[in-house]
Structure 1
Amino acid sequence: MNTRRFFLTSLGSLTASLIFASCSQPATQESNNSTQTISQKEQKEIIKVGVTGVVAQDILKFVNNNLATAEGLEIQVVTFNDWIQPNTALRDKVIDANFFQHRPFMNNAVKELKINLVALNTVYLNTLGLFSKNLKSVGEIPQNATVTIANDVINNDRGLRLLAANGLIKLKENAPQFVTRRDIAANPKNLRIKEVEGVQVVRAINDVDFIVSSAQTVALAGIEPNSMGQETAKDKKYALAFVTLQGRENEAKIQKLNKLLVDPKVKDFINQEYKGRLVPVF
């Protein structure tokens, strides 16, 4: 796996990636073919899609280079370095759609940001694991170990439940739908749980005993840590969805890309490129 670009998203909060346009035909082609190519480009609809990581960007690049032209579509990717701006940019119509969040996260964003969002097709599941540079198993986790997890409502809940599933903490029996540290009933190893913004979790791996992160994010960061526990891939509610503003979901260009994202060729690309670290859900 090429680990070239994970940290590029931190270079700016809003960067349009225009390199996804299909290449034009060589200048040596006959003039009538060149004219036809220019005409086809002029007729393409541009759709701007917000992302926060390289995986979604690579999938959109594949779609743009292999499927979009036949639909008269050109995908322009806009990258963000946090998990708030891709939705506020939708509200402000800076972008047409985004591709970075699962439905539970989106539903919480609707409440928190008071933005009417709608999830269309879900594409892939990025499972969580417990990762460490030094520890090789859950049994090696020492007393007073420090772990870093995401601080947003949904992924904080997801991280805590993964710790509980691996026997590291116990949650209250009457815990709410989304748990927080207040819902921890027992912490036998006295884990010190640090909460940071989701995109910052993987960067903490050198400073803590272990982290709760996705295997793909860890791999793209150029890290080869030990995986000590992983959540099941059966729960598809955490699969990443293609999202837009409510009321825009039936726009032609949005529906075109929504359909292309679940093309069988995209499934083949995900399976071949990520070798099980991502799970297609369509």
Structure 2
Amino acid sequence: MKKLLTALAAAAALTTLPALAAEKISVAATAVPHAEILEFVKPALAEDGVELDIRVFTDYVQPNVQVAEKRLDANFFQHLPYLEEFNSSRGTDLVSVASVHVEPFGAYSSKIESLDDLPEGANVVIPNDATNGGRALLLLQKAGVITLKDQGNILSTPRDIAENPKDIRIRELEAATLPRVLNQVDLALINTNYALEAGLNPTEDALVIEGAESPYVNILVARSDNSESDAIQKLAKALNSPEVKAFIEEKYEGQVLPTFE
């Protein structure tokens, strides 16, 4: 009887022990589609012992700054060319952990229905960061609007335009502001995350858009000192899961394209 009571007491003690705390990681993201994808994987990560704290940002600078300064653990908002340029110009050591999706970049207008209708001296706005600005110019070149001196340079600027038959006037603005000035210009080249937030449908509304072969794959980014941590690797695995692939394909209907099998 004494042995039974001892065993029961031990069992009761075990049931009162607190559950092991989940490991918490903070991840910066832009609202659409990045934060939405992170929200989708959040329950599965919780079951896997990782508590995901999603911080939504509206710009492309602070998510990297705050990860580099160890105020956040990771981010999910950018493509590899942007990360490489940021590391080079800022002296940071951020690394790509997983490739997730492509957001085909597009050109939009509230004034014309075809690039053939782009007027002489048209006002055109593009992102003001080096990689997305170059990306916009490459798309304009692909559409036959301009020709660049180095036709494959992803870091081209308006100063690198060799031919500009319609004498378009290009201004560089912060990427997040471009949808807000769409009705004030003839053409705006807008990152898909901001286009989606503004209610634009890239596959229907863009006058010209990148194809699925775009090299600008969006990635999960962390620091070199935490990229191999168990929690970050679990997040990377979740973002490359069949469930996320199906979620992206169903929710975004070709406006966002998964890049993993």
Deviation at 1:215? 4.3
Q: In structure 1, what residue type is equivalent to 2:188?
A: I
1:175-228 residue CA offsets vs partner (Å, 9 max, x unmatched): 755211111011111111111111212211011111111345323212468421
Contact 1:175 1:183 in 2 (8 A): no
- Residue 45 of structure 2 is aligned to residue 73 of structure 1: no
In the alignment, which residue of structure 2 is the partner of 1:12? none
How big is the shift at 1:92?
1.6
**2:149 corresponds to 1:145:** no
Q: Are the equivalent residues in 1 in contact too, given 2:137–2:156 (CA < 8 A)?
A: yes
Q: Does 1:244 align with 2:222?
A: yes
Q: TM-score, normalised by structure 1?
A: 0.81
Q: 1:54: which partner in 2? A: 32
Tell me: CA distance 1:77–1:279, structure 2 relative to 1, closer, same or farther (3 Å): same
Choose which of 194, 208, 229 in structure 1 pairs with 2:208: 229
What is the CA–CA distance in structure 2 between the aligned matches of 1:62 and 1:176, rounded to whole Å? Answer: 36
Secondary structure of the structure 1 residue equivalent to 2:60: coil
Q: Which moved more, 1:226-235 or 1:261-270?
A: 226-235
Taking the aligned partners of 1:119 and 1:176, their CA distance within structure 2 comes to 22
Note the C-alpha offset of 1:232: 1.8
Q: Does residue 97 in structure 1 map to residue 60 in structure 2?
A: no
Percent identity between the two aligned chains: 34
Contact between 1:134 and 1:226, CA under 8 Å: does it hold in 2? no
Once residues 133 and 260 of structure 1 are traced to their aligned partners in structure 2, the CA distance between those partners, rounded to angstroms, is 38
For the pair shown, the structure with the greater C-alpha radius of gyration is 2
Q: Does the CA contact (< 8 Å) of 1:49 and 1:96 recur in 2? A: yes
1:121 to 85, 98, 111: 98
Residues 177 and 63 (structure 1 numbering): CA distance in 2 closer, same or farther, change over 3 Å?
Answer: closer
In structure 2, relative to structure 1, the CA distance for the partners of 1:83 and 1:216 (3 Å cut) is: closer
Q: Distance in 2 between matches of 1:117 and 1:195?
A: 26
Partner in structure 1 of residue 7 of structure 2: none
Shift of 1:133: 1.1
Greater displacement, 115-124 / 169-178? 169-178
Which whole-Å CA distance do the structure 2 matches of 1:175 and 1:59 have between them?
A: 32
| SS of aligned partner of 1:77 | strand
Structure 1 residue runs of 5 or longer lacking an equivalent are 1-34
Measured in 1, the distance between the counterparts of 2:152 and 2:41 equals: 42
CA distance in structure 2 between the partners assigned to 1:263 and 1:241 by the alignment? 14
- CA separation in 1, counterparts of 2:57 and 2:206? 28
Deviation above 6 Å: which 4+ runs of structure 1?
none
CA separation of 1:39 and 1:190: change in aligned 2, threshold 3 A: farther
C-alpha change, 1:206 and 1:177, in structure 2 (3 Å) is closer
TM-score by length of 2: 0.88
Equivalence map 1:180-219=2 (5 Å): 180-219=157-196
**SS of alignment partner, residue 205 of structure 1:** helix
Gap runs ≥5 in structure 2: 1-13
The answer on whether the counterparts of 2:31 and 2:197 sit within 8 Å (CA) in structure 1 is: no
Write the letter of the residue equivalent to 1:242: L
Q: Is the CA contact 2:123–2:170 (under 8 Å) kept in the aligned structure 1?
A: yes
